[in-house]
Amino acid sequence: MRSFLFILIQATWGLPQTLAGCAVCLAHRRRPHFRFHGAIVTLWENPKGMSLGPFIFLHGNADQAPGAADKSAGAPADASPAPAGVDSYVLVHEYGHCVQSLILGPLYLPLVGLSSLLWSNVPRFERYRLKRKMSYYDFLPERSASHLGDWALNM
């Protein structure tokens, strides 16, 4: 029931990012995938993570095939453990972005998506972080995503 509501809300209130995530997922359909608390996680070659609606994209390789993410006994059907080599902190953080999408709906892309994209990719912001010895995760939308991921997964 929880996964159904997660997908329903992402497919309605979070439609813009869900459509974008679906397109990116289809573009990487040959890459390994696994489910994580209702989200669909794709392992891609890009070293950066990204979340769009119920779609999470994490760095991973073909050796981390879906078979490596076999469900443990008694685990919920939508809570496959992460394959070996997937950074669990980044996975929980990106799941936090899924929660932000649930909360912000159509405002997610302009408020979180755009600001995160700029914070991550603009050289001036990289220099700013280095000069002030800041982590990428110190930026408000990123810090919020980490907290929301921990909260949603009861960590």
Average pLDDT over residues 16-44: 97
pTM here is: 0.86
pLDDT of residue 72: 36
pLDDT of residue 76: 43
Structure tokens at 69: 């993410």
pLDDT of residue 71: 36
Per DSSP, the residues of the chain read -HHHHHHHHHHHTTHHHHHHHHHHHHHTTTS-EEEETTEEEEEES-SS-EEETTEEEEE--TTS-GGGGPPPTT--TTBPPPPTT--HHHHHHHHHHHHHHHHHGGGHIIIIIHHHHHHHH-HHHHHHHHHTT--GGGSHHHHHHHHHHHHHTT-
pLDDT of residue 82: 72
Model confidence band, residue 74 (pLDDT cutoffs 50, 70, 90): very low
Domain ranges of the chain: 2-152
